[in-house]
Amino acid sequence: MNNMNFQVNLQGIIDLLSNHLYSDPGVFIRELLQNGIDAITGRKRLGHTFEGQIKVELFTSTPRRMSFSDNGLGLTQTDIELFLARIGSSIKKENLDTSDDFIGHFGVGILSCFVISEEIVLITRSAVSEEGLEWRGRPDGTYSLKTLTKKVPIGTTVYLSAKPEYEEYFEYYQVSNLLNKYGEYLPTPIVLSEDNYNMNINESSPPWLMSKKEAMEYVERTDYSTPIDIIPLHSHLGGVTGIAHILPYAVSLQDEKKHRVYLKNMLLSDKMSNILPSWAFFVNSIINTTSLKPTASREGFQENDLFHAVCDELGVCIKRYLIELVDKDMDLFQQIIRIHYVSLKTMAVEDDALYELFIRHLKFETSYGDMKMDDILKDHTTILVTASLDEFRQIARVAKAQELMVINGGYVHDLDLVRNLTQVEPHITVEVLDILKFSNRFEELDNEDHALTQPFLKYASHLLEKFQCQPLVRWFEPSEIPVMYNTNQEVNFFRLTEESEKVANPLFSDIVLVIKDELYEKPYAKLCFNYNNVMVRKAMESSDLTLQKASIELFYTQALLLGNHPMGPEELRLMNDSLLHFMNRGFENANGALQ
């Protein structure tokens, strides 16, 4: 049985790199930088004493050409043949002991050049050989290899010729931008040359080695906004050093995160979204790591156990900073809360220590207006919280008049934050409000008044039955509010199924019946008449049933309007008929008086 080798379609691999693996053709600059840095690292590990350098030279020829040189380890003929025999393999893995000092993989890196170049010419001399070699490769998979008679220096030079559609990647401004983007903080000097003009690329100190003041100025210069503060980031597990800068404006969880991440001082990505915990969306970060493993494209990290542990460790750095800030600078702490209270609420829900730190400083919408929890706790030991914004709106106008502290739990995390309050304030009582029982908290009528209201309530119950609403009478403040309508999601859902049943086909109608009749006991909304209101009393005392009917229908539809509840066609008709009734009554009385 003969062993056979796969035949590799190199053009297919190039298309794969261009269209799927790499986000931008310009990554060939990053790949060549990685190869050059790794080659210099490899030569130093052999004990050679030399000043490492990478030089990129541009030629104004047609087609545009470029050379990329390093004075690193170089390649032997065996190295080249191994690389060509196994597309995408790593020279370093074959010939050098695996080390964290290396950034990339030679094989895939050199292949990336085929995306933008018609031909790759590689001139090299190994640090362990006197022999210079020339390798020429083409996108069709053919290549040539020859020994040079002329002596060449130790290292590797790659010559590239631009494909017509990629000539912009050989122009000075584009190459200098890409070299700065990927190699600005590499320790090895990088020089860009064109027409005998040389420019040093990497003379800057990286942000993760700057003082706080320098880092603030750097972020202001690069992001065009002044951060609120700088948070140092460290992870021993991932060999991470970095900074997080607190954004001076509010952002949402859905906003794209743009953390800038470096691998051994080489830019890996300037828009990584998951290197910090999801709750930390109020900061952007600049991070350098020596230990996390890159993906095949080297535009992200492998999301293994180490990656997730590093993410958690960086989150701890941000939490520790905020905890310490309370004692160091309360004004700054309050400023962060004002701008990023949504983010901080998310953090407080997920972490007990941060909950205890933040809860008294967070603001909530209450029946007394927007208040800090610290101010709420000063005057109230019993707190009611609604499960939704809709429920809060139904009772907010009357809760304060009853001296009830009700917090709107309808915003993100607010319900959980309030419910957890007893964990840190055990003397506080927190109750999730049952909106349909809210009117039971109002003052009941005495026996005499109760008896007087029964005929009116019986009539109202008859009229409102078809709207799945039950009436009751209580005494409450403020007196100018005649009625209060309370409903919940269960009532609304049940009404929706009944409306759907009327227009559904037979099959769907059967499903609706199952939902309505077998899964639920029919729930009712509550319409509470205020016996403290003059108009309500007059309606109840009237012996004119036509007038009472119009009053009940108008009170009901008015309560729907005041509570921002949707009104169906039948309810709109009721409102229209009752208003017209009172207008006719008014005109008749006015005309009678004139006569």
With 80 as the cut, is the pLDDT of residue 22 above it? no
Domain 362-433 adopts which CATH fold? Answer: Rossmann fold (3.40.50)
With 70 as the cut, is the pLDDT of residue 60 above it? yes
Residues 6+ apart with CB under 8 A from 397: 478, 481, 562
Coil, strand, or helix at residue 437? Answer: helix
Work out the angle at residue 263's Cα, subtended by the Cα atoms of residues 259 and 266, and round it to the nearest 5 degrees.
95
Tens digits of per-residue pLDDT, 394-445?
899 899 999 999 999 999 899 999 999 999 999 999 999 999 999 999 999 9
Give the chain's end-to-end CA distance (angstroms, integer). 121
Task: Between 255 and 169, name the one with better pLDDT.
Answer: 169
pLDDT band at 7 (very low <50, low <70, confident <90, very high): very low
Peptide bond into 227 cis (omega under 30): no
Task: Between 63 and 96, name the one with better pLDDT.
Answer: 63
CATH class of 10-200: alpha beta
Question: What's the pLDDT score for residue 113?
Answer: 86
CATH class of 444-488+523-594: mainly alpha
With 50 as the cut, is the pLDDT of residue 4 above it? no
pLDDT band at 10 (very low <50, low <70, confident <90, very high): low
Question: What's the pLDDT score for residue 15?
Answer: 56
> How would you label 404-443 residue by residue, b for 16+ Cβ within 10 Å and e otherwise?
bbbbbbbbebbbebbebbeeebeebeeeebebbebbeebe
Asked whether the beta carbons of 246 and 228 are under 8 A apart, the reply is yes
Peptide bond into 232 cis (omega under 30): no
pLDDT band at 505 (very low <50, low <70, confident <90, very high): low
Dihedral angle at the C-alpha atoms of 293, 298, 302, 307, nearest 10 degrees? 60
CA distances from 227 to 258, 261, 283, 323, 330 (A): 15, 18, 9, 19, 17
Tens digits of per-residue pLDDT, 305-345?
999 999 999 999 999 999 999 999 999 999 999 999 888 88
What mean pLDDT is predicted for residues 137-154? 87
Asked whether the beta carbons of 222 and 181 are under 8 A apart, the reply is no
With 70 as the cut, is the pLDDT of residue 576 above it? yes
With 80 as the cut, is the pLDDT of residue 253 above it? no
With 80 as the cut, is the pLDDT of residue 546 above it? yes
User: DSSP letters of 94-107?
Assistant: HHS---TT--S-HH
pLDDT band at 12 (very low <50, low <70, confident <90, very high): low
Tens digits of per-residue pLDDT, 337-384?
999 988 888 888 888 888 998 999 999 999 999 999 999 999 999 999
β-sheet with 190-194: strand ranges across:
143-148, 132-137, 117-125, 155-162, 65-70, 54-59, 190-194, 197-200
Domain spans, the chain: 10-200, 207-334, 362-433, 444-488+523-594, 490-521
Question: What's the pLDDT score for residue 6?
Answer: 39
With 50 as the cut, is the pLDDT of residue 106 above it? no
Centre a 10 Å sphere on the Cβ of residue 9 and count the other Cβ atoms it contains.
13
pLDDT band at 493 (very low <50, low <70, confident <90, very high): confident
pLDDT band at 49 (very low <50, low <70, confident <90, very high): very high
What mean pLDDT is predicted for residues 283-311? 90
Domain 207-334 grouped into CATH 3.40.50.300: no
What mean pLDDT is predicted for residues 276-292? 92
Tens digits of per-residue pLDDT, 202-247?
988 999 999 999 999 999 999 899 999 999 999 999 999 999 999 9
**Average confidence score pLDDT of the chain:** 86
pLDDT band at 153 (very low <50, low <70, confident <90, very high): very high
Chain mean position to CA 151: 57
- pTM greater than the 0.95 cutoff: no
Q: What percent of the chain has pLDDT over 70?
A: 86
Distance CA 551, CA 557 (A): 10
